[in-house]
Amino acid sequence: MKSKIYKEFVILLLLFVGAWIAIALLRPEPDIPDMAIDPDTEVDIGDVLAEHYIQEFPLEDNDSLQAVIDSVAVRLISNQTDPDFDIDLHLIASDDINAFATMGGHIFVHQALVEFCESPEELAAVIAHEMGHVEHRHVMNRMISELGMTLLLSIGTGGDPAVLTEIARYGLSNTFSRNDEREADDFGLELLEESGIHPVNMASVFRRMKEENTNGLADFDILSTHPSFEERIRRALEYDIQEDFEEVPYTIGWH
Amino acid sequence: MMFGALAAGLPLPIINLLAAVIYYYVNRDKGRFVRFHTLQSLYSQIPTTLLNAGLIFWIIRAIFRPASMDVEFIWEDLTSGHFFIAYLCLVVLANLLYVIFSIVAAVRARKGRMYYFFFFGKLAYHQAFSSKSVSQAIIENKPPV
């Protein structure tokens, strides 16, 4: 009798653990909404939104600064593997330390962010993160799931300007999910490594942003999208670099 | 007793276990048949209580993580974890199974039939029928001292 009790206990325990693992691993992934709009259409929509953002945010009229961020980004862009989008960087004249990606490859970088970075490698880390949002189409996915495809497609085909304004504001005001941020971080870290930039630079810039944010000195939208940036800093620090990694510093004169 | 214990245990999982323990101790001398069923109920209550407590602990830990008190991010933190969702499903299933089998056992017991849960039935039977209950102990009529 006792042996049967033990046997049934073990069976029950194994059933529980097995069911737990099975449900966790076999959970179906939700449909990916970005399959509904192809990259070319996203570029069209992104171009319209970018024009709107350019009208709303004054572009920094600083050719040398624009040349600096372009030269930082060109190394990242050239090390991408089969990108879906051409990256278009826009420098915004703003005192907010921020950068954001929109649809179709457009990335807006605030001037204050460039000045906040202590090295071109740190700026590259931020841009690489935003490129992660672009390549994974996070903005498009979020917009489709929350606003619907019809509304988005109307932008690309010249819709109501008032609707465009509201959608553009929505794109700026809402936040990415933790999974989106993690994907963008992972993409950015890999891209940095591929580009000969040490991934620790991402942790470095995030850490300083966190310190500034804690001191109330700045409101970092780039980090306020999700509060668990301690975890993101830790992940960047623990990133496993390949043995044959060779760091190639930028030769750009910085500050 | 089962529904009352379950309802009492919803806010704090330990209460339904306490209710089951109290019910067992109050009814254990009413014969082996009653003793067996109350013991079976108590034993099967233990893992359910532990699972419920684990779930509450997991949720409280997510809420009181230093990173965020924002409800939206807490829910995202929880639901982005596949193992949490799987655990939540198992807890719901365990509670459902407990309720269903308890009802079946109650119906059978009312008809005077024994009903055995998987594993807990054997455990309770071994406990209830292997030891001498008070009612079946040899009563010695000794004069008062």
- In this predicted model, what pLDDT tens digit does every residue of A83-132 receive, in sequence order? 889 999 998 888 888 888 888 899 999 888 888 999 999 999 999 999 99
Contact B73, B65 (CB under 8 A): no
Q: Is B132 buried (19+), middle (13-18) or exposed (0-12) by CB count in 10 A?
A: exposed
Instruction: Among A44-53, A112-121, A228-237, B28-37, name the one with the lowest average pLDDT.
Output: A228-237
Q: Mean pLDDT, to the nearest integer, of B8-26?
A: 76
pLDDT score of A218: 44
Count of alpha carbons within 13 Å of A144, Cβ hemisphere only?
19
Name residues whose C-beta falls within 8 Å of residue A37's C-beta, 6 or more positions apart in sequence: A45, A140, A144, A149, A152, A153
Q: How far apart are CA A51 and CA B70, in angstroms?
A: 34
| pTM summary value | 0.61
To the nearest whole angstrom, how far is the Cα of A39 from the nearest Cα of chain B?
A: 27
To the nearest whole angstrom, how far is the Cα of A149 from the nearest Cα of chain B?
A: 24
ipTM exceeds 0.85: no
Residue B40's closest CA among B96, B115, B99, B134? B115
Q: Helices then strands (H, E): number in chain A?
A: 12, 3
In the predicted structure, residue B126 carries a pLDDT above the cut 70: yes
**Segment of A38-47, A210-219, B93-102 carrying the highest mean pLDDT:** B93-102
When CB atoms are compared, the residue of A8, A27, A179 closest to B118 is A8
Instruction: Give the best residue of B61, B69, B71, B83 to mutate against chain A (max A CB count within 10 A).
Output: B83
Contact A133, A143 (CB under 8 A): no
- Give the DSSP per-residue string, A197-244: --THHHHHHHHHHHHHHHTTS---HHHHT-S-HHHHHHHHHT----TT
Q: How many other C-beta atoms can be found within 10 angstroms of the C-beta atom of residue B59?
A: 14
Residue B56's closest CA among B20, B88, B17, B86? B88
Instruction: Give the helix, strand, coil percentages of chain B, each rounded to 5.
Output: 75, 0, 25
Cross-chain residue pair A227–B89, CB shorter than 8 Å: no
pLDDT score of A53: 83
pLDDT score of A191: 94
Residue appearing with tokens 């039935």: B121
DSSP state of A94: -
With H, G, I as helix, E, B as strand and everything else as coil, classify residue A82: coil
Residue appearing with tokens 């906040």: A116
Which positions in chain B have a beta carbon within 8 angstroms of at least one beta carbon in chain A? 65, 67-68, 70, 73, 76-77, 80, 82-83, 85-87, 89-90, 118-119, 122-123, 126
Q: How far apart are CA A98 and CA A116, in angstroms?
A: 10
Cross-chain residue pair A2–B126, CB shorter than 8 Å: yes
Give B-chain residues touching A228 at CB under 8 angstroms: 65, 67-68, 73, 77
Query: How does the average pLDDT of chain A come out, rounded?
Result: 81
In the predicted structure, residue A205 carries a pLDDT above the cut 60: yes
When CB atoms are compared, the residue of A5, A20, A230 closest to B126 is A5
Residue appearing with tokens 């043995």: A243
Instruction: Annotate A72-110 with b (16+ C-beta within 10 A) or e (fewer).
Output: bbebbbebbeeebbebbbbbbebebbbbbbbbbbbbbbb
In the predicted structure, residue A220 carries a pLDDT above the cut 50: no
Phi, psi of A101 (to 5 degrees): -105, 140
The sign of the torsion formed by the CA atoms of B30, B34, B36, B37 equals negative
- Give the DSSP per-residue string, A114-182: HHH-SSHHHHHHHHHHHHHHHHTTHHHHHHHHHH-HHHHHHHHT---HHHHHHHHHHHHHS---HHHHH
When CB atoms are compared, the residue of A8, A21, A179 closest to B122 is A8
Name residues whose C-beta falls within 8 Å of residue B102's C-beta, 6 or more positions apart in sequence: B2, B41, B44
pLDDT score of B69: 44
Q: How far apart are CA B48 and CA B92, in angstroms?
A: 10
